[in-house]
Structure 1
Amino acid sequence: MIERIKIHNPTDFGKVAVMYGGSSSERKISIRTGKAVLDALLALKVDAHGWDTAKRNFVELSDAKFDRVWVALHGSGGEDGSIQGVLEWLGIPYTGSGILASASAIDKIVTKDILTGKGILTPAYRVVTSRGDILKAIEEFKFPLILKPSDQGSSVGMSLLSHETDINKAIELALGFNGIAFIEEYIVGEEITVAILQGEALPSIRIETPHKFYDYRAKYESKETKYVCPGINDVRLENQYRELALNTFNSIRCEGWGRVDFIKANSGKPQVLEVNTIPGMTKNSLFPIAASKLGIHFDELCWRILETSMIKHQE
């Protein structure tokens, strides 16, 4: 069972803002997450209110007198420590990770630097800021390669490079956000993700897609992508993944809830791809799939994540 701060009466949460939307490249996904969470909390009689940060300002937020916030924002402005800093300044408890962990996890280069320093395996990479950097990285790693922007989620701006003709469009995509990206070795193998909730790892999920890699289209548009939970049949290996997920989560100093994504070559060890501090939370998202294996339905999961804000209140 998952240990947690147990809240039994919805009035104990007080007035709750479900923050979603924002102005990042992941706005549409955030709206889907936020509205699903809002509906779930309202069904459980929580005094919850939708709050699109792209349409409301911080003065209004302060005047609204919320007791806590369920942060359902994805990408820059919401998942990078920005809104967490505002809420800290206003003294409003919120769900999920704090300022430092949020800022570290959204920057995949920083995440990789931290994990490498901790001895946690992650695919080899090189930071690139220009076409010249990319050409040098290609000479070192050889095709195929993955090119990713440093600070985007949902696989936005990510490209698979198979030959030089792919470079120009990929550069425009990856460097078009903050001018910093990275080349990562392309590993053929199983993609596994492990969700974390209040210090416990949930059952793993194996992602099966006919696409060459798990990009935005495979995540949100393809009907062929399949999710197998638990993703690993071997109990010992399943436990290793869960332990590694927790170790990774704690190394970035994440809190409350989140998800760790892995890639494992057919003849190698699991390697961390990224840490997601605010995973998608529609009813068909990965996190709810994992929770459902423990008998936690979607509404209850949203409630439990809201409970994580009580820890910050105690602190």
Structure 2
Amino acid sequence: MNIVVLSGGLSSERDVSFKSGTMVAKALRNRGHKALVLDVFMGFKDKECDIDDIFENSEEYSVKIENIPTDAPDLKAIKASRADKSESFFGPNVIRICQKADIVFMSLHGGDGESGKVQAALDLFGIKYTGNDYLSSAIAMDKQMTKEFFIRAGVPTPAGVSLKKSKRKGFTFDKYPCIVKPNCGGSSIGVTIVESKEELDAALDAAFEWEDEVVIEQFIKGREFSDGVIEGKALPIIEIAPKQGFYDYKNKYAAGSAVETCPAQISRKATEKMQKYAVAAFKALGLTTYARMDFMMDEKENIYCLEANTLPGMTPTSLLPQEAAVIGMNFEDLCEHLIKVSLKKY
């Protein structure tokens, strides 16, 4: 198959997306596919003749990223560096190249790539892609809306409120400790644990740097877990234990900064309950292909679903691939399986 692995974009997870895309493309090439890693924002600016046979030279023309930087990307600088200075999210020739592919493997994380906007655009152009449809993606990307869907489905989730930047003046909050996070962000960028009222303003400043709406929610002290769901079936649960602090951007992507255990060493009762909630959350959001649910569990084994990731990280050491490996599905198998599952939409 000719496959575009769509990566990059203008989200805070741009660099993470390239790492996922690079590893996915390598796995697909090992299975005989022609996989091109394409930056959705920068596009492909070479000559017309190169586009016509681009999949024959897919490895040569692919974006190449070695490692994920320890700091989040400077999106203003990246936007300013695009040669055509266009305001279009899609870079030069992106749609045309995607139309030549048998399927687009969605390796975008966060921002417009995970919010349903790119999915809707690809639908309009008749382009097949991996992952969920535009509507369920949009719902899952909005953390406060996701909470409402969880509550209606009986999935426990931390209590929280949303706050728009325009309504910040005069806002008060009195339940501490709490978590402040961008409403549609990912990779824990802009996330702060707030212990007191005096720390709230700085936390809001950090979150509002990334978007104009934030969520302030109950802080759950305990252990952190994640559980992938593919076609409505839960994978083994993984536990994430940062060696220092919480599971922030640096702890997510700096080698050796967290201990990840799969299957998680928790009671059978807790395992079954968490997997049940993962599937219920998946269905409540209208997801049909694959996603990963994040959880916290306190010392009394009360379980809280934090959010859903509709395009989870895809490197061999990412959480979803680790979970799949426990049931005998290696990384190459998983990449091909996600394509097979996604094609059922069509």
Check whether TM > 0.5.
Answer: yes
Q: Select 2:154's aligned residue among 119, 127, 137.
A: 119
Q: 1:252, 1:46 → 2: CA distance? A: 32
Q: 2:301, 2:338 → 1: CA distance? A: 34
Once the two structures are TM-superposed, the CA of residue 154 in structure 1 deviates from its matched residue by 0.6
Q: Select 2:103's aligned residue among 49, 68, 79.
A: 68
- 1:271-282 mapped onto 2 (5 Å cutoff): 271-282=304-315
Map Cα deviations across residues 27-65 of structure 1 (whole Å, 9 max, x no partner): 000000001100100111012222210112477244332
1:16 aligns with 2:11: no
1:189 maps to 222
Task: Rate the CA distance shift 1:302–1:116 in 2: closer, same or farther, 3 A.
Answer: same
2:113 maps to 78
Q: 1:60, 1:309 → 2: CA distance? A: 24
2:57 maps to none
1:108 aligns with 2:143: yes
Map Cα deviations across residues 210-238 of structure 1 (whole Å, 9 max, x no partner): 33422212212262310111114433432
Q: Select 1:35's aligned residue among 22, 25, 47.
A: 22
Consecutive unaligned residues of structure 2, counting only runs of 5 or more, are: 44-89
Task: Rate the CA distance shift 1:127–1:133 in 2: closer, same or farther, 3 A.
Answer: farther
1:257 aligns with 2:290: yes
Q: Are the counterparts in 2 of residues 94 and 312 from structure 1 also a CA contact under 8 Å?
A: no
- 1:92-107 mapped onto 2 (5 Å cutoff): 92-107=127-142
Q: Select 2:340's aligned residue among 301, 307, 310.
A: 307
1:174 maps to 207
Once the two structures are TM-superposed, the CA of residue 108 in structure 1 deviates from its matched residue by 0.5
SS of corresponding position for 1:86: helix
Q: Tell me the number of residue pairs that the alignment of Structure 1 and Structure 2 aligns.
A: 296
Q: 1:214, 1:83 → 2: CA distance? A: 28
Once the two structures are TM-superposed, the CA of residue 131 in structure 1 deviates from its matched residue by 4.5
1:50 aligns with 2:37: yes
Q: Are the counterparts in 1 of residues 232 and 283 from structure 2 also a CA contact under 8 Å?
A: no
Task: Rate the CA distance shift 1:87–1:58 in 2: closer, same or farther, 3 A.
Answer: farther
Q: Are the counterparts in 1 of residues 162 and 213 from structure 2 also a CA contact under 8 Å?
A: yes
Letter in 1 for 2:162: V
Map Cα deviations across residues 214-273 of structure 1 (whole Å, 9 max, x no partner): 221221226231011111443343222212101101100112111001111111421110
Q: Are the counterparts in 2 of residues 204 and 232 from structure 1 also a CA contact under 8 Å?
A: no
1:5 maps to none
Consecutive unaligned residues of structure 1, counting only runs of 5 or more, are: 1-13
TM-score (norm 1): 0.89
Q: Are the counterparts in 2 of residues 195 and 260 from structure 1 also a CA contact under 8 Å?
A: yes
SS of corresponding position for 2:216: strand
Computed over aligned residues only, the root mean square deviation of the Cα atoms, in angstroms, reads 1.8
2:53 maps to none
1:205 aligns with 2:207: no
2:58 maps to none
1:230 maps to 263
SS of corresponding position for 2:111: coil
Once the two structures are TM-superposed, the CA of residue 289 in structure 1 deviates from its matched residue by 0.8
Q: Select 2:163's aligned residue among 128, 138, 150.
A: 128
Map Cα deviations across residues 11-30 of structure 1 (whole Å, 9 max, x no partner): xxx32111011111110000
2:187 maps to 154
Once the two structures are TM-superposed, the CA of residue 153 in structure 1 deviates from its matched residue by 0.6
Q: 2:169, 2:243 → 1: CA distance? A: 32
Q: Could you list the structure 1 runs, at least 4 aligned residues long, displaced by more than 6 angstroms after superposition.
A: none
Higher relative contact order (CA 8 A, sep 6+): 1
Q: In terms of mean alpha carbon deviation, does 211-220 or 94-103 score higher?
A: 211-220
TM-score (norm 2): 0.81
Map Cα deviations across residues 54-113 of structure 1 (whole Å, 9 max, x no partner): 112477244332221110001112000011011111112211111111111111011011
Q: In terms of mean alpha carbon deviation, does 234-243 or 297-306 score higher?
A: 234-243
Q: Are the counterparts in 2 of residues 106 and 153 from structure 1 also a CA contact under 8 Å?
A: no
Once the two structures are TM-superposed, the CA of residue 132 in structure 1 deviates from its matched residue by 4.6
